[in-house]
Amino acid sequence: MSRRRLLILAAMSAVLATGALALYDGQQADVALLQRQVSPGRLSAAHASLERNCAACHTPAKSAEGAKCIGCHVGNTALLQRQSTAFHATVGTCRGCHVEHQGLAVRPVTMTHAGLADIGLKSARQDADNETNRRLLAWMRQHDGSRTRTAAHPRVTTREAALDCASCHGTKDRHQSLFGRDCASCHATAAWTIPEFKHPSASSVNCVQCHQAPPSHSMMHFDMVSRNVARRPDARVDQCYQCHQTTSWNDIRGLGWYKHH
């Protein structure tokens, strides 16, 4: 436990003890004032209504508990139905990513991939008899350390590589699953783009292997506008190279930059 947290707990204990004595002696105690005295800072705007109700999140001697967070947020179906956030249904630990008392203007989210990996590894250790978890923990021990990188995953740390990227990012996969689920073999956690990526030759005609036409190209708009603007009256939807260039999707052959939406 950090020194700061110990000092906060000590202050809370002292003030609460004083308040208890005051109540015992029949004196008028301002509970809200006592809570403000031990608060480490203002709550975020999302939780501002709980400013005078510490017990809504905290339990004496245990600090904030995940069970109390879940009690309020369990009905957030939008959070649980989205692929990128559905993992909240099984995490059970909130303080690893969500930090409060930082002020009204600060959103209480500090998620990092390393922190998310820590939660997953903790769960794996608790169920170490599971074959998948056993292999994961063995792999972690083999590569020894959370800050190291491997040849297979040069862009992320060993701990981050333990994450199943596709479980959150699968709906954003522009590769249409052709490259498998190991996103970390190419992508980093700090940025999704790859600086070294080079587009295939400008003379390539296999664009549809990676690119899908926008919805407008499946409507009359393609015949009435798109082909006419590009001056390619016979172009098919799957012949991207007839109109587009590799410099930019909106760089139309013989026309230059064009964006009609």
pLDDT digits (tens, 9 = 90+) for 19-34: 444 444 444 445 556 6
pLDDT grade, residue 144 (50/70/90)? low
61: left (phi over 0), alpha (psi -120 to 50) or beta: left
Report pTM.
0.58
- Any idea what the Cα angle at residue 133 is, between residues 132 and 138, rounded to 5°? 100
Quick: pLDDT tens for 209-255: 888 888 889 888 899 899 999 999 999 999 999 999 888 888 999 88
What percentage of residues in the chain have a pLDDT greater than 70? Answer: 84
**pLDDT at residue 146 greater than cutoff 70:** no
7-64 pLDDT, tens digit each: 555 555 554 544 444 444 444 445 556 666 677 889 999 999 998 888 899 888 777 8
Query: How do residues 183-201 score in pLDDT, each as one tens digit?
Result: 888 888 888 888 788 888 8
Q: Where are the domains of the chain?
A: 1-38, 113-185, 207-257
Distances (CA, A) of 85 to 75, 103, 170, 243: 14, 24, 12, 38
